[in-house]
Amino acid sequence: MNINEVKSRISLLLGQKAWGVSLGVGSFLTLEFGQPLLNTNGHQQVHGEWHLWIYNCVWRLEQAGKVLAASEDERSKIESAIVRLEGLSLQSIDIQPPIWDTVFTFENEVILRLFSIYSEDYEHWMLYTPDGNVLSLGPGSNWSYDNEAIPA
């Protein structure tokens, strides 16, 4: 486990503005960064050069020390809260071993905290990168960086 290698893979994401913030199945979140990609796969969803999929973890969205929403809140509350991420620049990413709890800090004191819940079987979050690879964190303290197809 080399956390510095993981951090080097995501360092180019810093300074990018979030767009296309979306609530998916359950409490899955997706955020797009960078330029929109030409949609060549026939799917309706447009992705950015960077596509962050918050997958099998619980999360909390905060601003200026107050909780805006958490992953198990009512869907309407989550949808109202996540729009605050639209257009905000990502300022830092803090990843904590051993199981990759992650803090994404955006401008305007907006913080998205991710808490890993699986030690086996499922990734916590995935970042699709401009070079066609996917950085997957989890399950547990595992991580990978390889080529995968972008989700629909």
The count of other CB atoms within 10 Å of the CB of residue 149 is 9
Q: Is the pLDDT of residue 5 over 50?
A: yes
Write out pLDDT tens, residues 87-144: 999 999 999 888 889 999 999 999 999 999 988 989 999 999 999 899 999 988 888 8
Q: Provide the number of structural domains found in the chain.
A: 1
Instruction: Tell me whether residue 12 is in a domain.
Output: yes
The type of residue at 42 is G
Residue 113 in tokens: 């905290």
Q: What is the pTM of this model?
A: 0.90
Token pair 């605050």 is found at 84
Instruction: Tell me whether residue 66 is in a domain.
Output: yes
Residue 137 near residue 9, CB atoms below 8 Å: no
pLDDT at 148: 59
Q: Kind and range of the H or E element at 56?
A: none
pLDDT at 150: 47
Q: What phi, psi does 142 have (nearest 5°)?
A: -75, 155
Q: Is the pLDDT of residue 152 over 50?
A: no
pLDDT at 45: 77
Residue 125 near residue 53, CB atoms below 8 Å: yes
Residue 61 in tokens: 């969205």
Token pair 């979140």 is found at 29
More confident residue, 94 or 149: 94
Write out pLDDT tens, residues 19-63: 999 999 999 999 999 998 876 666 667 889 999 999 999 999 999
Instruction: Tell me whether residue 46 is in a domain.
Output: yes
Residue 122: name the closest of 138, 136, 146 by CA: 138
Domain holding 10, by residue range, is 3-147
- Hey, which residues does 54 pair with through a beta bridge? 29, 125
The type of residue at 47 is H
CATH of residue 119's domain is: 2.30.310
Grade residue 84 by pLDDT with cuts at 50, 70 and 90.
very high
Instruction: Tell me whether residue 152 is in a domain.
Output: no
Instruction: Tell me whether residue 15 is in a domain.
Output: yes
